[in-house]
Amino acid sequence: MVLTSGGSEANALALWGTFAAHGFTGHLVTTSIEHSSVLENARTLEELGVAVTIVDPGPGGHVEAAAVAAAMRPDTALVSVMHANNETGAIQPVREIAALAAHAGAAFHMDAVHTAGKLSLDAVDASLISVSAHKFGGPRGVGALAVRNGHRLVPMVRGGPQENRLRAGTENVAGAMGMAAAVEVCLRRRSLGHRLGMRERREQLILGLADAGVCMSTAPNRCWRRRSVCDSTASAPTPWPMRWICRASTFRPGRPATPDTTPCRTC
């Protein structure tokens, strides 16, 4: 476990550290719905010589495991897929993707920033897992990257023996203690009934906003704390990482917003 300043640094270390260990060669597979800390680092790695393939999700925001498998190559060194999307809450088939990556001889990185403390991570056979304390009730400014024994990782920050020489510098001890306390609270609250009850109350609130022109995802497999909506009246273009979220007014002018998971035809 490598303590970091948060999820973004943990994601960056997972990608940079892995490909630095491979001499910035090989192949990375990721998806278009990842956090910017994954996508922007993927673009930079591509400039340094790493081949990058970005897989798009299907309707509802879910990435198909078969699509990820089809994108893999003999030189694929890392597959990076988030556990659940931070905008829609769509839970990705990470268990299946991790198994496919292992079968292909590639490491699997899971960005669990939005699910740590809410969903179980135990069943996912990941080489690298990123978390951020403030997303599950801990303090800001501290996170972690879980690294499987034997996974080759080169540090981005050098100059000291801290964190098993994977991140030099004095540790944020107070932040780490706060993160540990938040984990204990989450474990006590991780019952299925608690999660389903929270999601049900959230859905009731969202459904009450339908008259205001809110377009909602109907995909059933979503993280219970994500909002899964977009503004159907917005005129601004959909940002590139979220291009698959439909903005109803861009292709259904004059029609009321209805639950829809169809990819936006204009993005």
| Domain with residues 2-186, CATH architecture | 3-Layer(aba) Sandwich (3.40)
Q: Is the pLDDT of residue 47 over 90?
A: yes
pLDDT digits (tens, 9 = 90+) for 106-123: 999 999 999 998 888 887
Instruction: Categorize the per-residue pLDDT at 92 as very low, low, confident or very high, splitting at 50, 70 and 90.
Output: very high
pLDDT on residue 230: 57
List the chain domain ranges.
2-186, 192-251
Q: For 97-103, what is the mean pLDDT? A: 97
Report pLDDT for 210.
65
Where does the chain show beta strands of DSSP type E?
Answer: 2-4, 27-31, 51-55, 76-82, 107-111, 128-132, 143-147, 214-216, 229-231
Residue 69 has pLDDT above 90, yes or no: yes
